[in-house]
Amino acid sequence: MKFSLGFSPCPNDTFIFDALVNKKIDTEGLDFEVHLEDVQTLNNFALENRFDFSKISYGVMPLLLETHTLLNSGGAMGIGVGPLLICKDHDITPDQVNHLHIAIPGKNTTAYLLFSYVYPNAKNISFYVFNEIEAAVLSGEVDAGVIIHENRFTYAQKGLYKITDLGAEWETKTKSPIALGGIVASNRIPKPIMQQVDKLIAKSVAYAFNNYPIISEYVSCHAQEMSEAVMRQHIDLYVNDFSTDMGETGKNAIETLVHIYQQMNATTSSTQPSHSTPASVVPFLPKSV
């Protein structure tokens, strides 16, 4: 059986899925038609229910609650892994952000959710592909930008300055890890197949870790502009135990994020978002026995 699978060409995703899609592990008769796209494109395709399995930003998860199921493995989550708000002028302070033109890496990204959470009154924003934001800030096309992925490791070398660590703000206020992205399955897929793929992704992560710090050709060929050092920084930051199994801590972090998103988008709400973990609303995939 063959299934469509979407994920990004970033080192954390290619590291996670290499063994699965290139059959370095036993895939138990399953094949995958791979689609490599940037995260906002993946979010858009998930909203269209295009792929059988896909990486998404957790920022779009509130819009997928009726159509998709969230797998336990393959995601990105942790402490100290959040997006950064950066600028070219080292004199800009957080108090000035509401008056700036800000570049954001996609409307449905977790980065945008965290930015809106920290700066709810900042309205002058434009959406960019994540790897174009540094250049937009450097050129003066925008005043500041929210960066993710490998740009966390390169912005200072390019003469840019951090205004706010949006992830640190989230962690302080919610007492929760940052849920960046996860793997969803379309609800058209039978649950036993979802569980089989979930296990295979966990095995693919284990295979990758067992061979690390070797960078496979599959990872490096999709990250051609990065040095091996930056690839390893990327993998070290975004791939961890949560990528094998989000566990209860991860599930609580996702529920918190979805709950706060819903509060932020409730037109009748006039209160600040609650930081308590709500009753479960996210369609988590039960683990197979």
The model's confidence at residue 287, banded by pLDDT at 50, 70 and 90, is confident
Q: What is the pLDDT of residue 153?
A: 87
Q: Cβ atoms within 10 A of the Cβ of 224, count?
A: 7
**What is the spatial distance between Cα 123 and Cα 17, in angstroms, rounded to a whole number?**
37
Single-letter amino acid code for the residue at 254: I
CA distance 49 to 165: 33
Q: Model pTM?
A: 0.92
The answer to whether residue 270 scores a pLDDT higher than 60 is no
Mean pLDDT lowest for which of 158-167, 194-203, 279-288? 279-288
Q: Please give the Cα distance from 12 to 78 (Å, whole number).
A: 13
149 is catalytic: yes
pLDDT, tens digit (0-9, with 9 covering 90-100), for 16-48: 999 999 999 999 999 999 999 999 999 999 999
Domains observed in the chain: 2-77+178-264 (3.40.190.10), 84-174 (3.40.190.10)
**Cα angle 260-262-263, degrees, rounded to a multiple of 5:** 65
Say how many Å lie between the first and final Cα of the chain, rounded. Answer: 22
Tokens at residue 113, please?
A: 């959710």
Say which of 35, 68, 99, 149 is annotated catalytic: 149
